[in-house]
Structure 1
Amino acid sequence: MENKKAEWKRSEPELKLINMESVKVEQIEWLLYPFIPFGKVTIIQGDPGEGKTTMVLQIIAKLTRGEPILLNKKSQKEAQQDSEENLKQEVLSQDNPIQPVNVIYQTAEDGLGDTIKPRLLAAGADCSRVLVIDDREQPLTMLDVRLEEAIMQTKARMVVLDPIQGFLGTDVDMHRANEIRPLMKRMAVLAEKYHCAIILIGHMNKNSNGKSSYRGFRSIDFQAAARSVLIVGRLKDEPETRVMCHVKSSLAPEGKSVAFRLGKETGFQWIGEYDISADDLLSGDARGQKSRIAKEFLLDILADGGMAQKKIEEEASKQGIKKKTLRNAKQELEIDSVKRGNQWFWILSE
């Protein structure tokens, strides 16, 4: 009996207290502000075929070349016009490394030679900096020691598991919190220990509710462990336009939704900020309706000739059309801006 008590005492963890006075304040470093932080876990989710993987491969391509991920596409003339029109176009900023970095990309669905590499090449990636753990003999899981060994060996600044469901292990039930928590804890520890951004890509469930909070993974512990959660989806009335929406941001204010175009002819192109929420995106019609109304408004109000921008904005506001939606519609309709005296006029292109 005494031996059992002694053994029990030895198994008890030693009490250690951390005094917050001694804790140093640390600044968050960002791969892409405010969407993807270094040293943390980010989840990117959406329905199959919505462009999640393509978007991430585009980000990987930029990182391997040490280039900015999101660029302000405006010409110098357009920027000057916006300045004189007092439009505050926000530049999508980031703190990604100046030098090219290594990335670990693991896929459980797509072929490396026939799918992933062609996409990387199309995105202009330096493929010598994209590493894959060979798991053909033994499938990789989130608890696999090879994952940490690969991060150490490659010094990767970004690690992607695509999709997360393919790296849980055959014995893990996504419905059970006690089975998911150790996996997500392991990802968080690795991200912090090696100061890399870990991105988990996942398919959403088929809940018809449409609410983003109900269409994530089956266990809430996935999102609870992630510091940033993004949703990618397409616009119902504009199938080539996809949008990335922020649904959780623990380290910074939620970022404004960002759109990109994914077309057979044009390929991948960042568009910029879009006025749409995650719930509206998932419902499938809100953004298309707003865009359609704005376009119809502009075509109607400019049908008889140019009009001062200020007057257009005033009339649009009366109809509940936001400035950002109005500008997106102007861009899509390729409406010209012409300065007359001290005012800017919008004119339909001939």
Structure 2
Amino acid sequence: MVAESGNGVHLLYPVDLLNDEANRDLIKGVLGTVAERFDDDDTKLDQSVFNAARITKLYGVVANKGDHIPLAPWRLSRIINAPERNAVVTIEQLRALVPVAPAKLPAAKRRGNYPAFDLLDFLTRLGIGYRQDMHEGRERFKLDHCPFNADHGCGEAAIFQKAGGELGFKCQHASCVDYRWQDVRELLDGPRESRAGRATANGNRPGEQNAATGTAGALRVTYRRVSDVQAQPIRWLWQGRIARGKVSMIAGNPGLGKSQLTASMAAIVSTGGLWPVDRTRCTQGNVIFLSAEDDAADTIRPRLEAVGADLNRVFVLDAVVESYTADGAEVRRAFNLKNDLAKLETLLIEVGDAALIVIDPVTAYLGDCDSHKNAEIRALIAPLSELAARHGVAVVCVSHLNKAGGSDALMRVQGSLAFVAASRAAFLVAKDPAGDGTRRLFVPMKNNIGNDQTGLAFAIESAEVPSAAGHIETSRIKWGAESVTVTADEAMTSQGDPEERSALKDAKQFLIELLKNGALSSKVIRADANGAAHSWRTIERARVALNIQVNRAGFGKGGIWTWRLPHTPPNTAIESIERHTNCAAAYEKSGGLCEEKPKRNEPDWEEF
């Protein structure tokens, strides 16, 4: 039977075999043989469908795996040809497709100009620990954590290598379902096309004939002695935060003030004003906005006026003129970074003296690139970085956050991890976890070239600007007077699931109340926590948040681990440890009874 899956083509053949290990290995061998014979750059056989227990496609439904984009739209799965039921494929027919003797494990394959690949060397460079075993006939390397999200722990992500050398990757978490081996490879080695043989010093690619010498060009590397490299200081647009000639990222949930923040930056750049808090002077320059979400007339201009920008120095890229109609009218389309970067460079030259480009949001300007594919995003960002370097302009890409869980801020940036990896600095805009809900934070998630220790605080205030049609209500940034030390991960934790935040808050209050008279053994705390329906994982998070001190009292089998709140009076803590050490001993001797009840004094908790 022939069918379209919505993502490819199904060729279905009936078999009647027990679903045991021997028959699964036979089917795997058949798939491997067929793949070896027919796979090419455009067609790949799915060799993972050897287990009869898998649920098959329900034809007639829409396959909506991944994003719905022009390059890979969601499509209807359907049966193309369903012949009369014929006899099943026999086991003899299947065995005829599989070599009698297992093939010798081949050396790493070399394809075209791509160098041979060494998986063990790659794992060493990846820097993530792993455990090696065999799984369903494949060599498996179970990683200590997922390369795309460190919160995905030991054994939840693995790299596989088949007998033929083919590689695969899988993480058990839904947020990583679209990541494949090629995405892992690109984290370290970049897009596949960048790994192919490049032109050598004589201008030839490896294997091409050199017309001048009659010899074939040799594969070689280019290198420089560091003493021959001229050291250059970073050119700062915003000292220690945003560099000229580099790509930076600002990410946050909608409605928190990212666009007002970039308007404030544009005002400071266009007027040569002072940056907040440190009060360093910005070199005056022109600003270019690419804004897919805000209208220039009713939103961008009023916001810029509200913060005192020099409007003559700010430009908005509206669209690309693709052609003209017969009567001379322009035919416009949306700008995209994949096809129109040369046009942006032309605009930079025409405008002149450009210091800042704001792309808000960057995901609106990807064209047909898949925002979740590392290779495609790296191929897109690399030329943008080169453009920034050539013209000494700071490029700030604005992005939203994804809906994944976890407190690792870098992993929450929407789309491929390559967005953040390619940025020299990345900042998070979030609500202040200690504020009243109106204060916002602008804190570093990553800063390879500057200070990543402190951030800034701001609030959004309403403003009114004049226009020919009357006064316009708008909004603007009001920066805080001092820097803040809240980390991006701490701020991200506060933006998480409300139920999770409530559970953490309850757990912290539980520990404060439980330990207010002094130290207690971890066994007692665990028992009380279970009785109060607190998960131990949440209790551990609360312990870290409260900076609770963990110590061991006693030695050997009689020793116990104790938890103590900071600033608890030492004598109270010691007495409490002794009481519960004695209680633990009495508990064991009495077969589970402990008559001793600690005396609890009520200290003044204001100190903590």
TM-score, normalised by the number of residues in structure 2: 0.41
Partner of residue 210, structure 1: 407
Partner Cα distance (1:138, 1:239) in 2: 40
The one-letter code of the counterpart of 1:168 is L
Shift in alpha-carbon separation, 1:207–1:125, aligned structure 2, 3 A? same
RMSD: 2.7
Compare the two structures and name the one with the higher helix fraction.
1
How big is each residue's C-alpha offset from its partner over 1:34-69, in whole Å with a ceiling of 9 and x where there is no partner?
A: 110111111000111111110110110111111112
Partner of residue 279, structure 1: 489
Following superposition, the deviation at residue 12 of structure 1 comes to 7.5
SS at match of 2:268: helix
Partner Cα distance (2:416, 2:297) in 1: 33
Gaps of 5+ in 2: 1-206, 321-331, 464-474, 496-500, 506-565, 569-608
Work out whether residues 105 and 161 of structure 1, in 8 Å CA contact, stay in contact via their aligned partners in 2: yes
SS at match of 1:280: helix
Residue number among 408, 425, 430 corresponding to 1:228 in the alignment: 425
Partner Cα distance (1:177, 1:10) in 2: 34
Q: Does 1:27 pair with 2:227? A: no
Shift in alpha-carbon separation, 1:23–1:279, aligned structure 2, 3 A? same
Partner Cα distance (1:283, 1:146) in 2: 41
Work out whether residues 36 and 42 of structure 1, in 8 Å CA contact, stay in contact via their aligned partners in 2: yes
Q: Does 1:149 pair with 2:359? A: no
Following superposition, the deviation at residue 152 of structure 1 comes to 1.6
Shift in alpha-carbon separation, 1:11–1:118, aligned structure 2, 3 A? farther
Following superposition, the deviation at residue 235 of structure 1 comes to 2.5
Q: Does 1:262 pair with 2:460? A: yes
Deviates more, 1:56-65 or 1:215-224: 215-224
- Equivalent positions of 1:40-189 (< 5 A) are 40-71=246-277, 92=278, 94=280, 96-97=282-283, 100-135=284-319, 137-143=332-338, 144=340, 145-155=342-352, 156-169=354-367, 171-189=368-386
Select the structure of larger CA radius of gyration: 2
TM-score, normalised by the number of residues in structure 1: 0.69
Work out whether residues 30 and 94 of structure 1, in 8 Å CA contact, stay in contact via their aligned partners in 2: no
Work out whether residues 63 and 69 of structure 1, in 8 Å CA contact, stay in contact via their aligned partners in 2: no
May I ask how many residue pairs the two structures share in their alignment? Answer: 265
Partner of residue 124, structure 2: none
Work out whether residues 272 and 281 of structure 2, in 8 Å CA contact, stay in contact via their aligned partners in 1: no
Work out whether residues 234 and 281 of structure 1, in 8 Å CA contact, stay in contact via their aligned partners in 2: yes
SS at match of 2:369: coil
Work out whether residues 453 and 485 of structure 2, in 8 Å CA contact, stay in contact via their aligned partners in 1: no
SS at match of 1:193: helix
Work out whether residues 241 and 451 of structure 2, in 8 Å CA contact, stay in contact via their aligned partners in 1: no
Following superposition, the deviation at residue 261 of structure 1 comes to 1.2
Deviates more, 1:180-189 or 1:204-213: 204-213
Task: State the identity as a percent.
Answer: 27
Partner Cα distance (1:108, 1:12) in 2: 47
Work out whether residues 428 and 445 of structure 2, in 8 Å CA contact, stay in contact via their aligned partners in 1: yes
How big is each residue's C-alpha offset from its partner over 1:12-45, in whole Å with a ceiling of 9 and x where there is no partner?
A: 8875432222101100111112110111111000
Partner Cα distance (1:164, 1:22) in 2: 37
How big is each residue's C-alpha offset from its partner over 1:94-141, in whole Å with a ceiling of 9 and x where there is no partner?
A: 4621xx311111101111101111111111111111012230612111
Q: Higher relative contact order at CA 8 Å, sep ≥6: structure 1 or structure 2? A: 1
Work out whether residues 34 and 255 of structure 1, in 8 Å CA contact, stay in contact via their aligned partners in 2: no
The one-letter code of the counterpart of 2:282 is N
Work out whether residues 102 and 158 of structure 1, in 8 Å CA contact, stay in contact via their aligned partners in 2: yes
SS at match of 1:26: coil
